[in-house]
């Protein structure tokens, strides 16, 4: 994802390659493709997950499967479920929901604020040296 808001990792290593985070459009396209492949409601979850994996699973930056149908043909149901679960966990970790609770929100806010402050210890050090923060009585 080129123009992304999230600054964390967008890939996760798994057996068979790497799973990448998908944009909202890619997730919707995977759902639509999965709905077209499914013959009834019982098949919908497997087909949607296969289409999701077809978009998310890559080796050396290239998709492993050209379509959801190819993923259905090349993977076992257990493999589709395992990869889809791994992608869902990774996606939740990188895109937290406000429904995750106050403690999770506070933890992430602290992590983000720490990350921003640590940026000042590098390239901006020269600027900070000109105007060092004052502590104690000399404020």
The domain limits of the chain are 11-138
pLDDT at 48: 97
How far is 64 from 12, CA to CA, in rounded Å?
A: 15
Q: For the chain, give the number of residues.
A: 139
Q: pTM for this one?
A: 0.67
Location of structure tokens 């390239």? 123
CA-closest candidate to residue 87, choices 60, 67, 58: 58
Q: Is the model's pLDDT at 58 over the cut of 80?
A: yes
Instruction: Tell me what the mean pLDDT of segment 95-120 comes to.
Output: 65
Q: What is the CA radius of gyration of the chain?
A: 21
Q: Tell which wins on pLDDT, 59 or 123.
A: 59
DSSP state of 135: -
* Cβ–Cβ < 8 Å for 17, 59: yes
Q: Is the model's pLDDT at 92 over the cut of 80?
A: yes
* Cβ–Cβ < 8 Å for 12, 92: no
% of the chain beyond a pLDDT of 70:
68
pLDDT at 80: 97
Strand partners, 19: 12, 57
End-to-end CA distance of the chain: 45
């Amino acid at each position: 994802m080129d123009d992304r808001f999230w600054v964390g990792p967008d890939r996760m290593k798994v057996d068979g390659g790497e799973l990448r985070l998908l944009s909202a459009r890619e997730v919707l396209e995977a759902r639509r493709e999965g709905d077209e492949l499914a013959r009834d409601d019982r098949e919908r979850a497997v087909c949607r997950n296969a289409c999701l994996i077809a978009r998310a699973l890559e080796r050396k930056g290239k998709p492993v499967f050209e379509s959801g149908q190819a993923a259905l043909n090349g993977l076992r149901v257990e493999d589709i479920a395992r990869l889809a679960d791994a992608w869902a966990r990774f996606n939740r970790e990188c895109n937290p929901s406000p429904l995750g609770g106050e403690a999770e929100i506070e933890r992430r806010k602290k992590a983000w604020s720490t990350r921003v402050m640590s940026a000042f210890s590098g390239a901006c050090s020269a600027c900070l040296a000109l105007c060092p923060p004052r502590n104690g009585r000399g404020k």
